[in-house]
Chains A and B, each alone.
Chain A
Amino acid sequence: MRLSMDLELQDIPGQLLLALQPFSDNKANIISVVHHRDRKTPRGMIPVRFVVEMDRSKIEIVNSKLKESGISVVRAGEDRLIEAVSVVLVGHVLHSDLGDTVNRIDSTGFAEVMDVSLIMTGVDEPSSAYLKIRATGKAEIQKALAILREVGAEKKLLVIEPIEAEAV
């Protein structure tokens, strides 16, 4: 699973290495480390964000090792929905039950609608909506788009999808 962790390190040499050790010992694959030297906390600590791929069962061990080393773990959370896609819908978006449209995506378990902006110009006029969908992977994004296409056909909505960056 992919995990993101916000740590706070003391501003003395060797702290980053100390923080990396438990991840390395537990075979975590480090995706990114962002060291915010310019954003010191009022207590003079340096915030660092780690994104790692690691076995779920090792999280507690890593956490306690970090604490033993005097490193405070401010936040640790699973980055479950790592892919995102933007979609624009046109038609009677609200009156064709927007709640249901969103729910069809959310109920999959692998994708969620994270952002909705709606512009309505008049009661009988078609409205336009922007949706941001997040999902657990690229394949799941495609599945979510397929669901949205289906819902669009059913509710007579124009579904405007993003162009794919690569040829498929």
Chain B
Amino acid sequence: MRDIKVSLVGYGIVGHGVVDVLNRKKKMLRDMGLNLKLISVTDHTGTVMAEDGVDADKILGERTLANLATTSMKGKEAISAIDSDLVVEVTPTNIVHGQPGLGHMEAALSSGKHVVTSNKGPLVVSYSRLKKLAEDNGVMMKFEATVGGTMPLISLVERTLVGNEIFGIRGIFNGTCNYILTRMTEEGIPYTHALSEAQDLGIAEADPSYDVEGVDTAGKVVILANSLFNMNIKYSDVDVTGITGVTPEALALAKKRGYAIKLIGDVPALTVRPTLVPLGSPIAVAGTLNSAAIYTDLSGTITVTGLGAGSIETASAILTDIVSIYRTKRIDAIF
């Protein structure tokens, strides 16, 4: 049995999901030979620490840690001070400067801790620097949850499709946009109406610009380009058009000719734009689903689809990353 001490930084929707999933899967992980102990949870109010593992039932009912914190340590200070093997970084994304996640990830990697994250910001802002920092310190940085949520994409390309040349990846990487476009097509309603419906359902944020202007999708394009295509690009290298200009009439005209209009991110073209997708195409998924077509030399085109967001779903991708770190290490140890 291998003991693994995990620190969680960020206790929002995804953070709650991580606590819940690690708790639920404790037995399954033990059966795999991994004794995962969540030794600390940190948010903007402080840190809950427990050497034998934080009591999930006790903290899951709380929106923040304000009433439970055992120490006032936060952020980088907590990461450096707590003796963990792995840090799960799930603070809110900022695509401009990457903070506070960037600082958290730097602190974790430079003190020799593996990092698993769902936070796009740090990777969009400084992927290559973080990757080098991980390599220099002999640890891993995993980020499956940043693109397509629970939909396997990065690990699929890196592991399952290893040996294939990847020509490109195109897909729907934002569930909010996909929901709005789907509803506009189904009901013939204007953009503003579909948006307010999405906001009522909690699918869109009060300030939806990050999603509907294509910023979120472009961030994912940057991550895919840098991590899977070694492109070393910045956010500003992506040509971005969002969905705010799409009309119900345009959707109706397209549908009559056998097309859906979807917000498609394209690597290595580095574009995000509303695109006509044939209605029978496997990537033309509806509602909040995400999808991606991976174009390869040996395997032809592989298409994946799945939920792009959600607390438990994102935590599932994080769990996969955590397990894969230790499974990879075990294989390495054999040779």
Interface residues of A (CB under 8 A from B): 86-88, 90-91, 117, 119, 121, 126-130, 132, 158, 160-163, 166-168
Contacts and interface: CB of A to CB of B under 8 A. Distances in A.
A129 B253 CA distance: 7
B324 to A, nearest CB: 27
Nearest to A115: B257
Contacts of A121: 247, 249
Contact of B249 (A86, A87, A119, A158): A119
Given A128-B253, A162-B259, A163-B264, A90 B246 contact: yes
Interface stretch (B53-61, B275-283, B308-316): B275-283
Contacts of B273: 160-161
A167 B170 CA distance: 9
B278 to A, nearest CB: 8
Contacts of A168: 167-168, 269
Given A90-B247, A163-B281, A167-B167, A158 B274 contact: yes
Interface string B223-263: 00000000000000000010001110110111011010100
B295 interface: yes
B168 A128 contact: no
Given A86-B257, A166-B295, A126 B247 contact: yes
B190 to A, nearest CB: 9
Interface in B155-207: 167-168, 170
Interface of B: 167-168, 170, 241, 245-247, 249-250, 252-254, 256-257, 259, 261, 264, 269, 273-278, 281, 283, 295
A130 B246 contact: no
A90 B241 CA distance: 13
Given A163-B275, A163-B277, A126 B245 contact: yes
Nearest to A164: B170
Given A130-B254, A163-B281, A88 B245 contact: no
Given A160-B261, A162-B275, A88 B250 contact: yes
B249 A161 contact: no
29 contacts: A86-B254, A86-B259, A86-B276, A88-B250, A88-B253, A88-B261, A90-B245, A90-B250, A117-B253, A117-B256, A121-B249, A126-B245, A126-B247, A128-B250, A128-B252, A130-B254, A130-B257, A158-B241, A158-B246, A160-B250, A160-B274, A160-B275, A160-B276, A162-B259, A162-B276, A163-B264, A163-B276, A163-B283, A167-B170
A29 B94 CA distance: 60
Nearest to A129: B253
A163 B246 CA distance: 16
Contacts of A87: 276
Contacts of B256: 117, 130
A73 B241 CA distance: 52
Residue of B170, B256, B257, B264 with highest tally of chain A CB at under 10 A: B257
A88 B245 CA distance: 12
Nearest to A131: B253
A128 B259 contact: no
A160 B254 contact: yes
Contacts of A117: 253, 256
Contacts of A160: 246, 250, 254, 261, 273-276
A161 B281 CA distance: 15
A97 to B, nearest CB: 19
A167 B256 CA distance: 26
B241 to A, nearest CB: 7
A88 B276 contact: yes
A104 to B, nearest CB: 20
Nearest to A159: B273
B276 A167 contact: no
Contacts of A127: 249
B277 A119 contact: no
Given A88-B261, A161-B276, A162-B275, A167 B249 contact: no
Given A86-B276, A128-B249, 11 more contacts: A86-B257, A88-B276, A91-B245, A117-B253, A128-B250, A128-B253, A130-B257, A132-B257, A161-B276, A162-B275, A163-B276
Contacts of B276: 86-88, 160-163
Contacts of B277: 162-163
Nearest to B247: A128
A112 B98 CA distance: 47
B170 to A, nearest CB: 6
A84 to B, nearest CB: 11
